[in-house]
Structures are given as structure tokens and as C-alpha cells.
Amino acid sequence: MSSPAAQRDSWVSKPSKYMCRVIHPCTPPAAVSYFSFPFFKLVNDDLYEVLQEAGHPSIHPKLPLYVDDGEDCLLLCRDQRGNVGWALASFLEPVGNR
């Protein structure tokens, strides 16, 4: 089994599925992480590459954040500096190809 650091490093170079732009700011509690990845502080108009769609937050019993039962999806993302972390789809919108 690979270490958490190796798992993080493997996502840094993976190709993204699509790009998203932040449409609602979000500031998660400090030092909150899930499977060794942090949750991003989301700032309007920042861009993130989506690496994996992890399904509705309710299917993750040990998720350290409360998320209501509305439509949402936990996304593993990469920021413009190459950092990998989590974001919720309800705070993002896909960016079309230009």
C-alpha cells in the first residue's frame, strides 16, 4: 500500500477531467483534511482543475465537514500552483472550452 505522501504526489501530475471557476466563496475550518488532502479556501473567480468526482458528500461517513442533503459532489481538485485538495461542486461552475 502506498503512503499518503505518495498518493498526494501521484495526483499532482494526473490529467484533469475539466476546469471549474469558483462562483461562491468558502472558508473551511483550519486544518481540515480528508484522506490526507486539505479542503481549499475558495475565492471567487479562482480556477481549479477537477481530477476526480467523489460523489455526494453523504456517502463519505468520515467527512470532517457537515454538508446538507442537497445536490452536491465532493471534488478532488488541483489549484493553479499544483496543490491538490477538496472542493464542493456547489461552489464551482465548469468552464467551457474556448
Task: Please state the rounded mean pLDDT for residues 30-46.
Answer: 92
- Does residue 79 surpass a pLDDT of 60? yes
| pLDDT score for 76 | 96
Residue 91 has pLDDT above 60, yes or no: yes
Can you tell me which residue has the cell 482543475? 49
Reported as a pLDDT band with limits 50, 70 and 90, residue 1 is: very low
What pLDDT does residue 9 have? Answer: 65
Cα 48 from Cα 77, distance rounded (Å): 6
Q: Please state the rounded mean pLDDT for residues 2-8.
A: 56
Residue 7 clears pLDDT 80, i.e. is over it: no
- d(CA 10, CA 98) in angstroms, rounded, equals 28
